[in-house]
Amino acid sequence: MPVPDALEFFIDPGRCIGCQACIQACTECDTHKGQSMIQLDYVDRAHSTQTVPVVCLHCDSPTCAEVCPADAIKRTEDGIVHTARKPRCIACNNCVLACPFGVPKMQTEMNLMMKCDMCYDRTSVGLKPWCASACPSQALAFGTREEMARLRPHAKPVNTFQFGMQTIRTKVNIMVPRDSAVEIVDVTAAIHEPTIGHEMLDDVFEPGPDRGDA
Amino acid sequence: MNGPARTTETTPSLDRETIAQFGPHLAYAKDDRLDSGVEPDKYVKTHCCFCGQQCGMQLKVKDNLVIGVEPWYEFPFNKGMMCPKGIKRYLQQAHPDRLLHAYEKDTASPGGFKTMAYDAAIRKTAGEIERIQATYGHDAFALLSGASLTTEKTYLMGKFAHMCLRTANIDYNGRLCMVSAGAGNKKAFGIDRAANPWDDILGADVILVSGANIAECAPITTNYVWQAREQGAKVIVVDPRITPIARTCDLFLPVKPGRDTALFNGILQLMIEHDWIDQQFIANHTVGFDAVAAEVREWTPQRTAEVTGIAVKSIEQAAEWWGTAKTSFLCHARGLEHHSHGVQNVMSAINIVLASGRIGRPNCGYATITGQGNGQGGREHGQKCDQLPGGRDLANPEHREYVAGVWGMDPADLPQPGVDAYEIIRKIDRGEIKGLLSLCFNPVVSLPDNNFVRQALEKLEYYAVIDFFMSESARYATVVLPGSLQEEDEGTVTQTEGRVIRINKAVECPGEARPDWQIIQDIAKALGREQGLTFASPGEMFEELRLASKGGIADYSGISYERIEKNFGVFWPCPSEVPDGVAMPGPQGTPRLFEPGSWNPVAKGAGPFYFPDGKARLNVTAYVGPAEDVDEEFPIILTTGRVVSQFLSGNQTRRIGPLVDHCPEPRIEMHPRLATRLGITDGDWATAESRRGNCTLRASVVTTIRPDTVFIPYHWAGRKSANQLTISAQDPISKIPEYKVCAVRVRKADAPPAYADSIEPQQ
């Protein structure tokens, strides 16, 4: 059963309290027990208690899958990008290096890339993912867009991100202040950099027409 | 010179052997707990074993093993949310350190203890109680109990002390936690319970959080506060540190530790000056306003700023927001309460609530946030030194008569009120108490000035400990009896809102371990004094508790296990009978106190508050500074508290691998301005020293703390324990120790501490 379209994932970093409930919850996920797929960091502990949690954003056109030479990373039609398929993954690390959000993790002892699959065992049967279930401040939340609009009137969900010339649309939303414009800082606009000089990486940074879903 | 600090032990070799034998070792998930696709035999709906929020959760059980947890989305308080401790609590069960037998001290055995047959341990304990009481008198044997126990067990402990042992000396670890709030609430409202359910936080215009590190100590409450903010609430946080809840607040008041009364007096003075008070409410529903107004008159913004260390404009802004709000919620926790004037602090905070008139209505609330799992229920039914069930007083002849009637004994045989937990330790030190039994209490880690506590425990002729792990205090025991984990027993607890909820049993006790209440009853039987202590189940105890609490302020008589389960808990007071013409509480009991027109057994309809005239009390709160202020020799304030991944003395959480990994060891938190002056950089070893002890830990240099204050979390034992430094000064009314302020000096350490290479972080 696919993850229902109406239910979406929202990351609201302004609410994060750094408690690591998400990390502990992630290790309880039945698809990768004992391993957390979440990255949670202090931004600058010397000056603030601000922390930021990152789960997989589940790109429409996942860079990880695009750079995979073994075609091991699949995105199901409900938009979930899955852990590499064990028989195919050659543990080359391409996906780890290419992901703009730093999500995939290489499990060297298993020779396998693992990543957040939005608790597919739960979400595909209508349950919330573990991290968004547990998160005490609901910095990680799972529900409908309408519910979020009602509960968080000062924020809006964003799911389009610009990395150089690459525009990324994701299934997961990040909540940003409603009234401020979303600034896309395009570093490449200000630097002299016609090409990186490596064909494969150049391609990644091209705004590429219709690559379609993997 | 104020005399040298007492020397402290440096992890003697016996301690290291005990650690090797009994831990704390770390447990991680393995086998059925780690494998994917393992189907549990059952899901048990229950609550967390840790803090006072008591989040609803389901335990996944397979073959008498708790293999994990599953959110309980329907439970209304937390709706499936859990903090890291709740998610990993299952790793405490079937832990390699779990005590499976009774033990007796034997220095020749590895770790200093040898196993002992359960029956022999019970006989020995009963024999020693008999001997000590016969030789030195009834009061020479003391009990220390705890507020992480079910209410049934706390009721039993009170009955065991007062009816079976007839000792005056029983007290509990809520003495370190909730008592300032309890005393302040009784003096102002006549009742000791959160005034409102947490839903009242949602929709409040202003939320004032005072001395509550909500994000780390009551994580689920964060969502209530921040949801209110989404709906337009302004959040004011009073704390010497920018904790995660303070990070995005609308107004941060960085109070100098120990000066809270001055702040609230200053706010009240501005409210009066600007007529931001509810004159009608004050006139109709309170007593004492004029005296309080006279007391706070001298607290000008300037003077308040000088004493509290908070900028004048911030104090004025707080007073304006609070004063002009239409609805509001004030909550506080140990930051306000852990002081030698904790009750004053609490009453000064309540004064600004009462002056605003915003209480007893939707979105108009006040609460203390309880610390321990049963911080509320554990302080109601007779394990406090001056208390009988139902929130009754041991010194009150009518109360004695009622409870003695329920228990079938002569009221004259009930002891008079005893002394508080720390005074019990002092009495042990002075030789007035010779024997001790403790349950759910780890005084060696949790009491202040714990070098003194250790010395005292060594003087006991007999010390019996009931515990599921060999706690640091159990190492001082003559006999250790293997008790029960929360998931191995059933009963009720009362969570932070005053909601009575069910703890359901998930697994059986392993080995020779027993539910704690059976151990207590076994001792009573071995003493030949089992009358009234022959309950067959916690359910039977609850039925008697209903009767014993009936007519008291904490009236549970209308609550049953079935009613709790049907309604996701029942808020007390919930009487089984009310006078004619008075409405019975609804199925959920009484979620909100002090509603206009509400009835209670003290006011009998005269008003909503629990005094004969039905009116609340504004209490004069003269500012008194901390017991030990800084001086030239000890120029820095030390304050202590918690981290999110550990709980209390760490007896449970320092054995759970993933929680220890989050924060393996305590650090001394300090501002870079202070660190620079001391020549300390982030990560350096630093030594903090007070008049009572010293402690060498790594420094954490952050701008999120006042430059005149350092912070150390208190969950660790031995040479890492913050309580080597803290002061045993206590509030004169509540007897809470002053954990939140003492004077220290800090310097860069000469060398890493001896423990760094010899024991693991959690040990």
Say which of A19, A28, A151 has its CB closest to residue B644: A19
pLDDT for B751 equals 94
Element (H, E) at A146: helix A145-151
Q: In sequence order, what DSSP letters do the residues of B318-338 get, joined into one string?
A: HHHHHHH-SSEEEEE-HHHHS
Tens digits of residue pLDDT in A82-113:
999 999 999 999 999 999 999 999 988 889 99
The residue assigned the tokens 């007839």 is B166
pLDDT reported for residue B10: 39
Which of B34, B215, B230 has the CB atom closest to A153's CB atom? B230
Residue A58 has a CB neighbour count (10 Å cut-off) of 24
Q: How far apart are CA A211 and CA A66, in angstroms?
A: 9
Least Cα distance to B656 among B759, B755, B762, B757 occurs for B762
- DSSP labels for A170-193? EEEEEEEETTS------GGGGS--
Please name the residue of chain B whose CA is at the shortest distance from the CA of residue A122.
B70
Nearest CA among B136, B78, B141 for reference residue B499: B78
Torsion sign, CA atoms B575, B577, B579, B582: positive
Instruction: Quote the pLDDT of residue A180.
Output: 77
Cα B357 from chain centre: 29
Of B69, B82, B701, nearest to A46 by CB-CB distance is B701
Q: What is the pLDDT of residue A195?
A: 55
> Residues B574-592: pLDDT tens digits?
999 999 999 999 999 999 9
Interface contact A27, partner B, CB < 8 A: yes
The beta-carbon neighbor of A46 closest among B35, B69, B703 is B703
With an 8 Å Cβ cutoff, are A14 and B29 in contact? Answer: no
pLDDT at B378: 97
pLDDT beyond 90 at B16: no
Q: How far is CA B323 from the centre of its chain?
A: 31
Region of residue A77 (phi > 0: left; psi between -120 and 50: alpha; otherwise: beta): alpha
Query: In terms of CA atoms, which chain A residue is nearest residue B85?
Result: A21
Nearest to A138 among B28, B223, B702 (CB): B223
Q: Closest residue of A to B82, CA-based?
A: A134
Is the predicted pLDDT of residue B608 greater than 90, yes or no? yes
Residue partners of B175: CB distance under 8 A and separation at least 6? B384, B420, B421, B422, B735, B736
pLDDT digits (tens, 9 = 90+) for B370-387: 999 999 999 999 999 999
Taking residues B173-185, report their average pLDDT. 97
Which residues of chain A neighbour B699 with C-beta distances below 8 Å? none
Q: Give residue B9's pLDDT.
A: 43
The answer to whether the beta carbons of residues B334 and B740 sit under 8 Å apart is yes
CATH topology of domain B102-177+375-549: Rossmann fold (3.40.50)
CB contact under 8 A, A134 and B223: no
Residue A20 and residue B645: Cβ atoms within 8 Å? yes
**Global model pTM greater than 0.90:** yes
Q: How far is A103 from chain B (nearest CA, A)?
A: 20
Q: Do the domains at B102-177+375-549 and B195-368 have one common CATH topology?
A: no
Which residues of chain A neighbour B703 with C-beta distances below 8 Å?
Answer: 46-48
Q: How far is B318 from chain A (nearest CA, A)?
A: 23
> CB-CB: which of B28, B29, B84 is closest to A19?
B84
Q: With CA atoms as reference, report the closest residue to B438 among B423, B419, B452, B457.
A: B457
Judge if the upstream peptide bond of residue B254 is cis by omega within 30 degrees of 0. Answer: no
Closest residue of chain B to A154, computed from CA coordinates? B230
State mean pLDDT over B182-192.
98
Alpha-carbon torsion, ordered B26, B32, B34, B37, to 10 deg: -160
- Closest-CA distance, A110 to chain B, in angstroms, reads 15
The torsion defined by the Cα of B535, B537, B542 and B545, in degrees rounded to 10, comes to: 10
Instruction: List, for residues A4-48, the tens digit of each pLDDT value.
Output: 889 999 999 999 999 999 999 999 999 899 999 999 999 999 999
DSSP state letter for A50: -
For residues B365 and A91, give the distance between their C-alpha atoms in angstroms, rounded to a whole number: 57
Element (H, E) at B229: helix B221-230
Domains observed in chain A: 8-205 (3.30.70.20)
**A133 shares contact with chain B (CB less than 8 Å):** yes
What's the one-letter identity of residue B106? D
Identify all chain B residues contacting A49, using CB atoms and an 8 Å cutoff.
242-244, 247, 704
Return the domain boundaries, chain B: 28-92, 102-177+375-549, 195-368, 636-758
Rounded Cα distance, B430 and B419, in Å: 14
Q: Which of B178, B310, B294 is closest to B253 using CA atoms? A: B310
For residue B65, the cross-strand partners are B62
Q: Which residue of A has its CA nearest to B69?
A: A28
Q: Identify the residue among A7, A28, A128, A142 best suited for mutation to test binding to B, counting B beta carbons within 10 A and taking the highest.
A: A28
The ipTM value here is 0.95
Q: In what order do the strands lie in the sheet with B570-571?
A: B491-494, B499-503, B570-571
For chain B, say whether A153 makes contact (Cβ under 8 Å). yes
Q: Strand order of the sheet with strand B113-116?
A: B113-116, B102-105, B479-482, B462-467, B435-439, B141-145, B170-172
Shortest CA distance to B82 belongs to which of A28, A55, A116? Answer: A28
pLDDT tens string A148-207: 999 999 999 999 998 878 899 999 999 999 987 766 655 655 666 555 555 444 444 444
Q: Kindly state whether A126 is in contact with chain B, defined as any CB-CB distance less than 8 angstroms.
A: no
Shortest alpha-carbon distance between residue B219 and chain A (Å): 6
Which residues in chain B have Cβ-Cβ distances shorter than 8 Å to A151? 227, 230
pLDDT at A210 over 50: no
What's the confidence (pLDDT) of residue A37?
A: 95
Q: B195-368, which class in CATH?
A: alpha beta
Residues of A in Cβ contact (< 8 Å) with B662: 20
Q: What average pLDDT does chain B have?
A: 96
- Residue A2 pLDDT grade (very low, low, confident, very high; cuts 50, 70, 90): confident
Q: Which residue has the tokens 């508050």?
A: B609
**B5 has a pLDDT exceeding 50:** no
Taking the Cβ of residue A180 and every Cβ of chain B, the question of whether any pair is shorter than 8 Å is answered with no
Residue type, B401: E
Query: Tokens 């308040």 map to which residue?
Result: B304
Mean pLDDT of B122-137: 98
Q: Which of B62, B223, B243, B698 is the mutation pick for testing A, counting most A CBs within 10 A?
A: B223
| Rounded Cα–Cα distance for residues B376 and B392 (Å) | 15
Q: Could you read off the pLDDT of B440-486 as tens digits, one per residue?
A: 999 999 999 999 999 999 999 999 999 999 999 999 999 999 999 99
Residues facing B499 on adjacent strands: B571
Q: How far apart are CA A104 and CA A92, in angstroms?
A: 12
Residue B666 pLDDT greater than 60, yes or no = yes
Angstroms from B662 CA to nearest CA on chain A: 8
Q: Is residue B14 predicted with pLDDT exceeding 80?
A: no
Is residue B513 very low, low, confident or very high in pLDDT (cuts 50, 70, 90)?
very high
Whether A25 sits inside 8 A of B701 (CB atoms) is no
Helix (H, G, I), strand (E, B) or coil at B554: coil
Please tell me which of the candidates A25, A30, A138 has its beta carbon nearest to residue B87.
A25
Q: What is the number of alpha carbons within 13 Å of residue B391 lying toward its C-beta?
A: 24
The CA distance from A140 to A124, in Å, is: 18
How deeply is B101 buried, as exposed, middle or buried, from its count of CB atoms within 10 A (0-12, 13-18, 19+)? middle
CATH number of B28-92: 3.30.200.210
| CATH number, domain B636-758 | 2.40.40.20
Contact yes or no for A134 and B82 at CB 8 A: yes
